[in-house]
């Protein structure tokens, strides 16, 4: 007998009855839980990928994912997004430029019958470990360099802006931080890559941004570095550690990679020249 499919209620959070055990006591209560649902990305009627994500800021996610994965060359290549709620998840129907869609179809055709490496649908190691070109609008630091004081201040400020995390304790955040340590824009998701895609998508909708950097509440994996660099951003600050591959790619991309950001300390892994003392 096949199991029934789990149905999605359309919300980013839900309330669930739980039993809490603490200090020898037992308490029945209701907890607020972050939702994680399948999100299908459909380009000009053709399904390309299904991601598990928090169902909010989905138009930002659609644009950011499409840009950082190289499906679109520029925000103007996306003509529209239709969000379609379904019983088991959400379909994002993207209307994209013909040239971008043709390139996507060629990539899908070349993957047919091949054994992939398992990274972002790539069919070869060379394609999986692509070095970003930073073709998107530059949103990196300019004349004002980021200081250590700003990094530590940003760590404190981002926590005050994480509404989903405060409610559920289950989400990551990616934020655009200005050179004074202020949070100008923040996106949250159960997945760290999704949160970054949402942030980049939101930033791509407008070109009016102050100098600054990206702060993520997660570790800094290769994909986080790749997505940041592809957006033309030259500083990524992570609250947790980077991977060795992330450091090597950051070096090649001229990206300053900072890890273990705390209220009074941080570690710089690549290109410290973009930071001030």
Active site (catalytic) residues: 117
- The Cα-based distances of 266 to 67, 83, 144, 259 in angstroms read 29, 40, 19, 6
- Tokens 């669930």, located at residue: 16
Q: Where are the beta strands (DSSP E) in 87-234?
A: 89-96, 146-147, 172-178, 183-189, 212-216
- Measure the CA–CA gap between 230 and 132, rounded to whole angstroms: 5
Write the DSSP symbol of residue 242. Answer: B
- Measure the CA–CA gap between 31 and 26, rounded to whole angstroms: 15
- The Cα-based distances of 267 to 93, 134, 221, 264 in angstroms read 41, 24, 15, 11
Write the DSSP symbol of residue 182. Answer: -
Here the tokens at position 236 are 């990524």
Our measurement of the distance from residue 252's CA atom to the centroid of its chain's CA atoms, rounded to an integer in Å, reads: 21
Contact between 190 and 36 (Cβ < 8 Å): yes
Residue 20 CB partners (closer than 8 Å, separation 6+): 26, 27, 28, 29
């Amino acid at each position: 007998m096949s199991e029934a499919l789990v149905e999605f209620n359309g919300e980013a959070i839900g309330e669930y009855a739980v039993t809490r055990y603490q200090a020898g006591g037992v308490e029945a209560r209701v907890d607020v839980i972050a939702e994680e649902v399948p999100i299908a990305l459909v380009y000009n009627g053709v399904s390309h990928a299904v991601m598990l994500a928090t169902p909010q800021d989905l138009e930002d996610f659609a644009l950011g994912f499409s840009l950082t994965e190289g499906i679109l060359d520029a925000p103007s290549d996306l003509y529209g997004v239709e969000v379609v709620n379904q019983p088991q998840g959400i379909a994002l129907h993207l209307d994209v430029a013909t040239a971008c869609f043709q390139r996507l179809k060629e990539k899908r055709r070349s993957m047919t019958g091949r054994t992939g490496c398992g990274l972002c649908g790539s069919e070869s190691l060379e394609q999986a470990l692509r070095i970003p070109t930073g073709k998107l609008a530059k949103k990196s630091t300019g004349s004002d360099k980021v200081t250590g004081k700003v990094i530590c201040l940003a760590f404190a400020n981002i926590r005050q802006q994480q509404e989903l995390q405060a409610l559920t304790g289950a989400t990551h955040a990616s934020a655009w931080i200005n050179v004074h340590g202020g949070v100008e824009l923040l996106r949250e998701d159960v997945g760290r890559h999704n949160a970054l895609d949402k942030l980049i998508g939101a930033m791509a909708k407008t070109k009016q941004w102050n100098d600054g950097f990206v702060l993520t509440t997660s570790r800094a994996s290769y994909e986080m570095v790749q997505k940041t660099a592809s957006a033309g951003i030259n500083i990524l600050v992570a609250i947790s550690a980077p991977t060795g591959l992330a450091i090597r790619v950051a070096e090649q991309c001229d990206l300053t990679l900072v890890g273990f950001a705390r209220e009074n300390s941080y570690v710089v892994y690549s290109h410290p020249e973009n930071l001030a003392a």
